[in-house]
Amino acid sequence: MNRKKYSDNIIMWLTQIVTSVKLGGKLNLNDLNIHAENFFRDLLNRIYGLNLENINFTKGKNADTIDLGDTDKRIAIQVTSNDSLDKLRNTIKNFTKNGLLDQYDKLQFLIIKADRKFSRKTNFDVEVDNKFEFSISEDILTISKINAEINNKSTDEIKTIHDFLEKEIPSGKVSPTTANEVETIIDLIAYLSGNKLETVPEEIEPDPDGKIYKRFKDYSRFLTEEYNQLVTIYKSARDQAEQKFGLDTARHLTITNFLRTKSDYFLRQTENDPLKALEALVEYFSSELSTGEKEYDEAAIRFYLVDELIKCNIFPNEQHIK
């Protein structure tokens, strides 16, 4: 339980970092100033067991090329919110041009924003005398990647990182006005995946047509319109949230089981009225997530539940209820 608490809080704080970069928050991460460089220096040292130093203090002439460096393990890192190919190529070019290969064997980027998928065929033209190669899969670090690295550690190691973030991020909380749709869905997923029931969900083939247009035919127009209105706004947010959370098969099954059981309860309570049951579900999860520290995007919660209804994980058919 401690491990889950630490992990959930870490996800919340790492998401806040990305939001701060996007919106310009209290950490001033948009400018990536000295405070932010030191913050990431200390965070990466704890995660990867490095001894990174802030290049602005130790080797100022190279500060335009790299931000952090560990000369013992010969790793250099640039912390940036700019993931354009031109930015990456120019940094790599300056890295080799300024003779940094004499000190470092590896250059990595920590990109502080929502993950961007790079093609493995992207050419950075970075091979220099067979001494230096840049790997897209290994040398571009993102918030979701470092979260996955954290989750692979022992509970004591996770606690160390948790305590550092709790101390460094203002109040250890997200301001009530900054909880966006991605944060909302991440916290909803964290809540759902933490409520494990004893029964194992039966594998079913999703049949949205049968559910929406047959079982709930009297409500089909409303449900489809509801989904179509929300999907364009929140589909991307859900995809980002699941990627950042690192949703695996075991947690997905836990979520599926909990949603089927809980939604069936509300459907029975509302005498098989899916609209009333959906409203009750939204209210239930909004209440469960509310801790006084955040104001959640209720529409994001609603989309997640409607999306799961379409996937047949909400209001299961009678034959699939154990």
Each residue's pLDDT tens digit, 145-200: 888 899 899 999 999 999 999 888 765 444 444 457 888 888 888 888 877 655 54
Tell me the pLDDT of the chain averaged across its residues.
78
Note the helical H segments in 79-219: 85-97, 136-139, 143-151, 155-168, 181-193, 208-210
CA 132/CA 137 separation, integer angstroms:
15
- pLDDT attached to residue 32: 47
Letter string b/e over residues 131-157, b meaning 16 or more CB atoms within 10 A of that residue's CB: ebebeeeebbbbbbbbbeebbeeeeee
- pLDDT attached to residue 65: 81
Query: Strand, coil or helix: what is 312?
Result: coil
- Here the tokens at position 217 are 């035919």
Interacting residues of 18 by C-beta distance below 8 A, sequence separation 6+: 112, 113, 114, 143
CA 34/CA 41 separation, integer angstroms:
10
Helix (H) or strand (E) holding 281: helix 274-289
Instruction: Specify whether the CB–CB gap between 45 and 51 falls below 8 A.
Output: yes
Q: Is pLDDT at 96 greater than 60 in this prediction?
A: yes
Under the banding of pLDDT at 50, 70 and 90, the label for residue 291 is low
Q: Is pLDDT at 101 greater than 60 in this prediction?
A: yes
- pLDDT attached to residue 69: 93
Which one has a higher pLDDT value, 155 or 251?
155
Query: Strand, coil or helix: what is 39?
Result: helix
Under the banding of pLDDT at 50, 70 and 90, the label for residue 222 is confident
Please state the separation of Cα 91 from the chain's center in Å: 26
The vertex-52 CA angle with 47 and 58, nearest 5°, equals 160
- pLDDT attached to residue 133: 79
The beta strand positions in the chain, using DSSP E, are 53-54, 68-70, 75-80, 106-111, 140-142
pLDDT tens across 27-63, in order? 444 444 456 778 899 999 999 999 999 887 655 555 5
